[in-house]
Structure 1
């Protein structure tokens, strides 16, 4: 870690001054995808941008958000106004949406604001407003046996992922994608509530994504690649504050009172670090790693490594065997992204572990323990006759425990899963995972085929979501009539630009096989039949530019 610090901070001597450019919030509709696609076309976007640390700075030529509002040394620009509205029927579906809640029914999200810069001081103020119908929905939890219910609450007691955010309508305002920072060249120090995204994922991230509401944090980071004689670096070090949702997990009060371990009123201290490297000799290759620690504040001790544990030893032999008992939870991931502009191809991966290995030998012989991973690609094909580009992209995310659980733990039930912890109660903020948003113990595969012309896009998205596989096998439902709950969906995508207005839309039909692992009324022990459900999701994002 000391070597890493020397490399990171030595890059400060190679920084170049940067002009005022607005940042794109993490996973911003249309624009981030277009910037990433432009890197493959090799004509639109800075090829040294890794997309491993987001938000990114917007290209001022591509996206002239607004002119300065006043003629002075102070630069004031209006940020685009965005409204995302979602309507889903029968059950919740969707993730990666800046804290929009799992909600059957109607919900809408608003964000917009202003960016102010004076010399090296930069202020971004983009508050958020969320309004949701927050309707209840059927889960059939009371149809399970006591043992199966206990196994369901196992993950709820070691996480913070409620089915429903209270009763009645949901209304929330938040500081949103806001930040106050001091900038010099590619370097920045400040405080923020904005969402951050670490890693190469397009639809998910193992550590940080925009799935949950942003959290308040102190940050030291680069705002663009820092150029050195050996290549480009991007990095971020944060200290943050996470809060529990405070909601009971199920919609059955009697089961909550019997099986759920209530939250304390304490908050969680978060320390996280990421570093990425783009070798000078391989321009299209980007590699890096992340490390995070979280712990309830009341169980923290004193000392440097208590407040900056990301710089402690990686193995338990070096780090110590007592930290889990003190409530300290860590995750670590490595990732890579390879861009080939000549073939218009992008490939990437991320691999993470949520538990320290005892030593490097144990990691080598058991790399599957406590792991999650994602793989993805983008491929562009020119269509000269249509004067368009065919975009094919896909991603798979795997959180389900590996077969390593059968030899690692007693019995056949396995242990914890990604984003859960016995004492830290899940890698989450206000009831939603900070990274992977598809649900604990779940796996997803997504592929998209679309025709693209600049910012305009029309296509289809196919998706398969296997819900909470770790619960299914922990409760040993495979030995019963119940079958895995798998959602198959098709989505129709349409993005369009009209002058100052951008539209991003999706209409998705979701067919749930064996919904909530429930059985159909006509099911019998000899001929088990699962209960299926078809629902749909309609979503639009409207983005208005004040000057474009």
Structure 2
């Protein structure tokens, strides 16, 4: 794998122009409370308004802070100890600091629940993730070593019922040879030690290049994103990225180009025994003439390693033309076993109104040509739409309201165009008829953490004061409508989760504390709807398979 990366590494080094080093300390996506805090601060006008928040992790340079984990500068006066975990050397050219020690506990009473939890797995019962590490910087070189230890009880639960219907067994997403999304990853007492949020970088302002295992988040969404989230564990990748917005006469730019390795879970049968090469990028532009507006796109290609060539376009297919016809092919089905995802996004920030709106529109499969796109723009499409507002200010206290809609179910045009394929859902988001593993890493989705073909609507209301936050969230989660349209079809049998969550983030001296209690009512769990004839006669809308799940999270971080 690394032999194949050397050409990309050489190509990336050509971009290094300048002599001023960068601290390039990143804010892990595991610290969601701090990520949300900085985004609220931008709405308040306290963070660089040219920072897009569409390519994360964020870096200390972009946030203009010396200690990214102490944004309110309270530790110096309120620390529990006199221990200074950070020291500099060699006339300030070097730096060493201990990263926060963190523990996250998660529990599910009935079945797996939870997204955007990184290296944690879908599991019933108790689960814990712990991490601790350090950050080292000398001149142009920076090293972040932040490994993670994951343990899950991983109890058995009522999963998809075998023998319910033949079509279900053949087409359900977790069935053999369709996508690498096993219902249960591993057995009882699952334990894994991972590199976590670790990286090695060489950085010149404003460019950084390196080898990283960090989780990435691309796009403006806070609950979901189409191409890159932290719903799976981090994967090893080469990265060339900006560490803060690059100002030009026409506006500011941010971007990231990666080449990585996606691995299989080992728990799904019928898939090729091969890892996949992933080439992906995100680019965001903030026009000089329209303050607060961010326009951008994301794009990714994955291909099995045994199908890789040795040319420039094999290592950097994201730089190729968009349409299939421009590639000179005479067939709509690609000749190589590769899969492309692409999205366009916009975020509009209104600091004077303490608000923002955003959207992301994506295609799982690129159009044959412009005519094809204009005739059927919804083919293999998905979108995210959201808004975020701060209001009710009383001194440094205020309320936050934000909502987000994610639509990933296939349009009818997509279902119709896929009739020639063995699997009618082959071009649904994150599936592919040639890349059998789908858009996954170690058995979890690299993109949005909800099931493929699903839709969600989320509304959150919270009280805020600096880092402190107490709130309530309402979710409606429609599971895999693609599968329901194809195989279930009974309009009473949609699997829909209705949930209410109460959460809090709090800081006290060195501690950052997070807690969440989520009550989930699953209607027609696993799409099971087989009432008796007597039940139907008594009540046509009878609900024979509703279940309840209690989902809790509790996390603590200690800042040295």
Q: TM-score, normalised by structure 1?
A: 0.90
Query: Secondary structure of the equivalent of 2:489?
Result: helix
Query: Secondary structure of the equivalent of 1:142?
Result: coil
The structure 1 residue matched to 2:270, chosen from 259, 262, 272, is: 262
Superposed counterparts of 1:57-136, under 5 Å: 57-58=59-60, 59=63, 60=65, 63=68, 68-69=86-87, 71-72=89-90, 73-136=93-156
Query: Secondary structure of the equivalent of 1:535?
Result: strand
User: Structure 1 residue 474: deviation in Å?
Assistant: 1.2
User: Structure 1 residue 453: deviation in Å?
Assistant: 0.7
Does the Cα contact within 8 Å between 2:22 and 2:206 map onto a contact in 1? no
Q: Which residue of 2 aligns with 1:357?
A: 367
Query: Secondary structure of the equivalent of 1:34?
Result: helix
Q: Is residue 39 of structure 2 the alignment partner of residue 36 of structure 1?
A: yes
Q: Which residue of 2 aligns with 1:139?
A: 159
Aligned mates of 1:150, 1:223 — CA distance in 2: 46
Q: Which residue of 1 aligns with 2:468?
A: 456
Does the Cα contact within 8 Å between 1:348 and 1:377 map onto a contact in 2? yes
Q: Which residue of 1 aligns with 2:317?
A: 309
User: Structure 1 residue 451: deviation in Å?
Assistant: 0.5
Does the Cα contact within 8 Å between 2:23 and 2:203 map onto a contact in 1? no
Single out whichever of 502-511 and 140-149 deviates more from structure 2.
140-149
Aligned mates of 1:135, 1:244 — CA distance in 2: 22
Query: Secondary structure of the equivalent of 1:305?
Result: helix
Does the Cα contact within 8 Å between 1:99 and 1:432 map onto a contact in 2? no
Contiguous gaps of at least 5 residues in structure 2: 1-11, 71-83
Tell me: CA distance 1:447–1:220, structure 2 relative to 1, closer, same or farther (3 Å).
Answer: same
Q: Which residue of 2 aligns with 1:421?
A: 432
Does the Cα contact within 8 Å between 2:301 and 2:339 map onto a contact in 1? yes
Q: Is residue 273 of structure 2 the alignment partner of residue 271 of structure 1?
A: no
Q: Which residue of 2 aligns with 1:536?
A: 550
Q: Which residue of 2 aligns with 1:205?
A: 225
Q: Is residue 504 of structure 2 the alignment partner of residue 494 of structure 1?
A: yes
Q: Which residue of 1 aligns with 2:527?
A: 517
Contiguous gaps of at least 5 residues in structure 1: 1-7, 249-260
Does the Cα contact within 8 Å between 2:133 and 2:145 map onto a contact in 1? yes
Q: 1:137-182 CA distances to partner (integer Å, 9 max, x unpaired)?
A: 1024225111222121587633211100122111001111111111
Q: Which residue of 2 aligns with 1:242?
A: 262
Query: Secondary structure of the equivalent of 1:117?
Result: strand
The structure 2 residue matched to 1:288, chosen from 296, 299, 312, is: 296
Query: Secondary structure of the equivalent of 1:404?
Result: helix
Does the Cα contact within 8 Å between 1:29 and 1:541 map onto a contact in 2? no
Aligned mates of 1:530, 1:357 — CA distance in 2: 43
Q: How many residues align?
A: 522
User: Structure 1 residue 520: deviation in Å?
Assistant: 6.2
Q: Which residue of 1 aligns with 2:478?
A: 466
Does the Cα contact within 8 Å between 1:353 and 1:372 map onto a contact in 2? yes
Q: Which residue of 2 aligns with 1:180?
A: 200
Query: Secondary structure of the equivalent of 1:141?
Result: coil
Q: 1:430-473 CA distances to partner (integer Å, 9 max, x unpaired)?
A: 00000111111111111100000111111100001001111111
The structure 1 residue matched to 2:453, chosen from 432, 436, 441, is: 441
Query: Secondary structure of the equivalent of 1:306?
Result: helix
Q: Which residue of 2 aligns with 1:258?
A: none
Does the Cα contact within 8 Å between 2:21 and 2:139 map onto a contact in 1? no
Aligned mates of 1:148, 1:107 — CA distance in 2: 30
Query: Secondary structure of the equivalent of 2:353?
Result: coil
Single out whichever of 56-65 and 483-492 deviates more from structure 2.
56-65
Does the Cα contact within 8 Å between 2:174 and 2:181 map onto a contact in 1? no
Query: Secondary structure of the equivalent of 1:38?
Result: helix
Single out whichever of 292-301 and 336-345 deviates more from structure 2.
292-301
Does the Cα contact within 8 Å between 2:108 and 2:125 map onto a contact in 1? yes
The structure 1 residue matched to 2:407, chosen from 386, 398, 407, is: 398
Query: Secondary structure of the equivalent of 1:176?
Result: coil
Aligned mates of 2:414, 2:549 — CA distance in 1: 34
Q: Which runs of 4+ in 1 moved over 6 A?
A: 8-13
Q: Which residue of 1 aligns with 2:55?
A: 53
Aligned mates of 1:366, 1:530 — CA distance in 2: 39
Superposed counterparts of 1:147-186, under 5 Å: 147-152=167-172, 157-186=177-206
User: Structure 1 residue 396: deviation in Å?
Assistant: 1.3
Q: Which residue of 2 aligns with 1:4?
A: none
Q: 1:521-545 CA distances to partner (integer Å, 9 max, x unpaired)?
A: 6564543533101111110121111
User: Structure 1 residue 28: deviation in Å?
Assistant: 2.3
User: Structure 1 residue 377: deviation in Å?
Assistant: 1.3
Query: Secondary structure of the equivalent of 1:364?
Result: helix
Aligned mates of 2:287, 2:497 — CA distance in 1: 41
Aligned mates of 1:19, 1:489 — CA distance in 2: 44
Does the Cα contact within 8 Å between 1:198 and 1:209 map onto a contact in 2? yes
Q: Which residue of 1 aligns with 2:81?
A: none
Query: Secondary structure of the equivalent of 1:30?
Result: helix
Aligned mates of 2:30, 2:224 — CA distance in 1: 10
Q: 1:67-105 CA distances to partner (integer Å, 9 max, x unpaired)?
A: 533543421011112211101111111110112111110
The two structures, once aligned, show a CA RMSD in angstroms of: 2.4
User: Structure 1 residue 318: deviation in Å?
Assistant: 0.9
Q: Which residue of 2 aligns with 1:23?
A: 26
Aligned mates of 1:413, 1:473 — CA distance in 2: 11
